[in-house]
Amino acid sequence: MRHFDYLLENEKEELFSVHPLPINRNTEKEVLAHALGATLYMPAIRTTISHDVMTQKHEGLVSMVICLEDAIGDHEVTEAEQSLIRQVRDISSRLRNGLIQQDDIPIMFVRVRDVHQMNRLVEELQEDLISLTGFVFPKFTSRNAEEYLEALQSCNRYVPFPVYGMPILESADIIYRESRTAELLSIKKILDKYRHLVLNVRMGATDFSSLFGLRRGPDVSIYEISTIRDCIGDIVNMFTRQGSEYVVSGPVWEYFSNGERLLKPQLRQSPFEQKLGGASGRRLRQQLLNQWQDGLIKEVLLDKENGLTGKTIIHPSHIKIVHSLAVITREEYEDARAILQSQTNGVTKSHYANKMNEIKPHTSWAKKIMIKSKVYGVFHEHNNFINLLARTANIQFQYSR
């Protein structure tokens, strides 16, 4: 897989000064953890998963989770398990027979209901695990953490490649203020023992919200729901500290269709007109507004500002939005490179003469930018996500480069 491989070569040349590198399940863990991008959830009951993967039905898809938990009904579990096994075996068979390569398939995970189901699937699949990158652990708490991670470690003894885990923090003990700190500390202490197997820490904003009878609307970011915002802040505080950090992903965005607006759109018109020209810019902006994508754009930007990487999604229309916003700007890249190449520990003026780069405080940020530049690429000087989205929406314009 390579981000933006659906673009033509001349389009990539026009858009990127540094091109994204290919990734697969064997990519270095630190890089892979930052590379998942928009992780699409799909119910395991779906019978076309293998076909969809083979035909690359969802353009731009790089990572996905086949879900056996909330995405299916309790009465469908057995049927969903059998469907999942058939789909995974079909993909794995094609890999073994050379009909496809690892680079041809998304980074795939299975979200299980509990550790017993995970153990059954591992026993059933065995060599067919070759097509999976790992498992997602829902309702992850200090009470079930050891059980999940010991099972994951056992799974890794029988395969010649890493099988990773991604815990989802979404339980009452985490969102309730009186128990949050102790619970997060306990979870992190356990995760630290299995750090080499933990690819990503995820959070379940929908489950958190349900405990208070809340559901955010399409005009509202999750960061405007104060109870959830405070919890996200504490998760980031606990899990992304320098020296012991994990990659923490952004909460799910669940809207994908238009509807009646109460508040003003959240996208200014002028940036689109400046990048694409009047008519083309207005057309792209209106397309985004028609699908409530302005709310998604705002939330992804807030995710980035709050230290989150990637996002859980439930609809293919979200993929290109999330990935376009993950591309590194030329300014970010040059600042990061200057910081890492500096021979001093002081302060230097940015090449863009609009900020000061403090070498010591900004080094951690610069390292993350360079990792992300490998998988998402770097825009040319005058391009940004608007130029990329216009190309993926087949809107014609003159590049400003």
Q: What is the pLDDT of residue 258?
A: 65
> Do 227 and 168 share a structural domain?
yes
Question: Looking at residue 182, which CATH number applies to its domain?
Answer: 3.20.20.60
Cα 290 from chain centre: 24
How many domains does the structure of the chain reveal?
Answer: 2
| Residues 326-340, mean pLDDT to the nearest whole number | 95
pLDDT grade for 397, boundaries at 50, 70 and 90: low
Percentage helix, strand, coil for the chain under 3-state DSSP, each rounded to 5: 50, 10, 35
Helix (H) or strand (E) holding 84: helix 77-96
> Do 163 and 69 share a structural domain?
yes
- Do the Cβ atoms of 166 and 135 come closer than 8 Å? yes
Q: What is the pLDDT of residue 399?
A: 47
| Angle at 127 (CA atoms; ends 124, 131), nearest 5 degrees | 100
> Do 359 and 303 share a structural domain?
no
Q: Is 395 helix (H, G, I), strand (E, B) or coil?
A: coil
pLDDT grade for 339, boundaries at 50, 70 and 90: very high
> Do 358 and 233 share a structural domain?
no
**352 belongs to a structural domain:** yes
**389 belongs to a structural domain:** no
Cα–Cα distance for residue pair 399/401, rounded to 1 Å: 6
| Residues 148-167, mean pLDDT to the nearest whole number | 94
Domain that holds residue 212: 21-256+291-320
Cα 86 from chain centre: 26
**176 belongs to a structural domain:** yes
Residue 75 confidence (pLDDT) above 70:
yes
- Residue type (1 letter), 172: A
Q: What is the pLDDT of residue 344?
A: 81
**193 belongs to a structural domain:** yes
Residue 401 confidence (pLDDT) above 80:
no
Bridge partners, 109 (sequence order): 65, 134
> Do 362 and 295 share a structural domain?
no
**326 belongs to a structural domain:** no
Average pLDDT, whole number, for the chain?
93
**364 belongs to a structural domain:** yes
Residue 103 confidence (pLDDT) above 80:
yes
Q: What percent of the chain has pLDDT over 90?
A: 81
> Do 218 and 360 share a structural domain?
no
Q: Which tens digits make up the pLDDT trace of 33-53? A: 999 999 999 999 999 999 999
> Do 360 and 312 share a structural domain?
no
